[in-house]
Structure 1
Amino acid sequence: MDHVNHTRTQSFLLAGFTTTGTLRPLAFLGTLCIYLLTLAGNLFIIVLVRADSGLSTPMYFFISVLSFLELWYVSTTAPTLLHTLLHGRSPISSAVSVCFVQLYIFHSLGMTECFLLGVMALDRYLAICRPLHYHTLMSRQVRLWLAGASWAAGFSAALVPAGLTATLPFCLKEVAHYFCDLAPLMRLACVDTSWHNWVHGAVIGVAAGCNFVLILGLYRGILRVVLKLPSAASRAKASSTCSSHITVVALFYASAFTVYVGSPRSHPEGTDKHIALVYALLTPFLNPVIYTLRNKEVKEAMKRVSVRIRAILKEP
């Protein structure tokens, strides 16, 4: 499509969700509650890991890093979702650049989570398969390096899809989504985006796919070792340390692959925003629940911290 005969848009309009009547305030209040609980839950994990020495292990260090990431990840899109639920179709800004900033930050954090989930699988592999060398291999310096490398890789990889999308001419302005994401933005371009779609798929596919394959390979090794453990109790204990991570990986990758694998035009317009609710809102909300609900170490840490707080409050 030739963009010469079109007028380029100077702003984007977020379509959001078509809610009317009493459903709109209910949707707004429900989303607001989920958002606030997500912030509280992830902050709780970060504070608890720092406050209790019993959680000063590599596994809980990476869980706290994931919680820190989720605070920013959910805050990138949830305020926009709340705004569209309250006001309906809304301009994101008078400047198109704000939309691309949101696109870049969201994908940076999303790809950082891909790398971080791979690092967390490596941590579980070393803890179960190399227990005698675990604390040496996963020293504080190594932990910090792996966490920093995950953030650097995620924010570097996201430069490609966000940068390429920002160079496109856009002739339509209504984004069929509640935030600026790749697929709905690509549908608004005045030109053929086949090459851009291929590059986007390659970058996101390599980042997400390689980490997913790494996770599968590491858990294959973990499974072999767990099956050789002598007692059912030891097998159950080893499995329990991995079950939370596997659940988070399944939630994140299942929804993300549904949206980002294939051409943006292969999905019906408007369906992306419904699927995005899973990985952009629901997964950050569930992560604290998944990592704490059946975790004995976290429950014991909560008891220790609460005892210390009560003792401090009783002091004259």
Structure 2
Amino acid sequence: MEMIDLPHGTVSYRAAGPEDAASPPVVFVHGFLVDGSLWSGVADLLAAKGVRSYAPDWPLGSHRVALPGAADQSPRGVARQILAFLEALDLTDVTLVGNDTGGALCQYVLDTDPSRVGRLVLTNCDAFDTFPPFPFNVIFRLLKGPRRLLFNLQPMKLRAFRHSVLGFGLLARKFDPAQSRSWIEPSLTDAGVRSDAARFLQAVDPSELNDVSTRLAGFRGPVRLVWGTADRAFKPALGRRLAAAFGDAEFVEVPEARTFVSLDAPQALADQIADIANATSSPKEPT
């Protein structure tokens, strides 16, 4: 793990692949209550193809270093944190890859400043006013507040609960128990991390993401949606609607995969990312 100090706080990240890669860099954006390890299998496969990737732990409840209390934890604020990461590492023509809540954050990035983004890959994720979908909209309401978050995470200490439909069970077919436990540990043990996570949930506004969707067609780079068709939360119909919002996005179905396509079908996702990585792009300048 490497660490970098940014204006909003410290970010840990995993880097994989050759530093002198000819392909544009890949930057991953995970969702709520998971960390950058979600992408490890895909990152290793990309590294074998000669692609350099970065998988930061964004401040969404599974990060290890709490942010200062003044950090903007709204979705727009986290998008600016992603942009600060790209700027700090001087990453340009980036292939931005998002999943779950991270897919919504990628949309905010494009709406805020797409100048460092060359192309976009989204797997199953929030879109329009589905932010988040059922049943996670109900679950997230139970977590809105540091005390509520701590109380409602207690059952997640049990592997059986953690991997059930009340935990992560809807999101993938199979989990590594040690990995899923590591996702909840920071919010269980660090009050600052719990505060970061709760402040993010309190700032989520489906109507704002719905407004962002009206401007997605302005992004000039290639867009590909790699969608698990077995997802019972982010259903394929939502993915096809999101693809249409970009105007010229490709929609690729991944049979049998659920929300975490990176866990259920890492080879299929890595192949799609590598394929689009060298596609011609023409990023927009900020307006």
Give the TM-score of the pair, scaled to structure 2.
0.30
Compare the two structures and name the one with the higher strand fraction: 2
Rg larger for: 1
Query: Where is the helix percentage greater, Structure 1 or Structure 2?
Result: 1
